[in-house]
Amino acid sequence: MKAFKAVVKFHQNTWSQNLKIISSYHLKTIAFWYFERSPPKCWTEETLVHHLVTLLEKLAEALRMQNLAMYFMPRVNIMQHIDDPEIALELVEKIIQISTNLPAILKVLTAINLSRLFKAREHEFKLSFKKVNADYKKRQESLSHESDITLWTTLNTITKILALF
């Protein structure tokens, strides 16, 4: 579900304000209905992209029909608030574009995986960069070679980025 939300939210940030009618709850509801109908054993890393594309297609269909049953109260349509069918159709087109753009999907999935990897080994990374940074600080005064200056600048930038985490 995290990948589904990440792909939609990543692209949603590039859309005009009037297209931002999809909430996290809409995405979760589509995912809950889909999880209920698909056996857990079919969910593997190899099938993740297939399931993600299917979730995007389900989202597009719910928008096209302006109908999505609330998961816990199925008689309630959580898409009924969409007043302008043209906006819904424009959004359907955007979501279909996303679902057929495999490189864009893989880009977001890669970012999620890198984020997980970093968080899992954050302490180890920070210690390594602190050590390397300390070694280069000692050498900073004696820098004369251009590649050393470039490396120092790169390490300094990485250290500043890591400080944000």
CATH number, domain with residue 13: 1.10.1410.40
Tell me: do 81 and 145 sit in the same domain: no
Same domain, 128 and 103: no
Q: Is the predicted pLDDT of residue 1 greater than 70, yes or no?
A: no
pLDDT tens, residue by residue, 36-57: 998 888 888 788 888 889 999 9
Range of the domain at 21: 2-119
Q: Please report the pLDDT score of residue 160 as a whole number.
A: 63
Q: What is the pTM of this model?
A: 0.64
Looking at the DSSP assignment, which residues form a beta bridge with residue 69? 77
User: Pick from 38, 43, 83, 87: which is nearest to 58 by CA?
Assistant: 38
Considering the domain architecture, whether residues 111 and 138 belong to the same structural domain is answered as: no
> According to the per-residue pLDDT averaged within each range, which of 26-35, 122-131, 156-165 is highest?
26-35
Q: Are residues 114 and 126 in the same domain?
A: no
Q: How far from 102 is each of 16, 32, 110, CA to CA, in Å?
A: 23, 23, 12
CB atoms within 10 A of CB 63: 25
Domain count, the chain: 2
For residue 137 the two structure tokens come to 């600080």
Q: What angle do CA 47, 53, 59 make, to 5 degrees?
A: 135
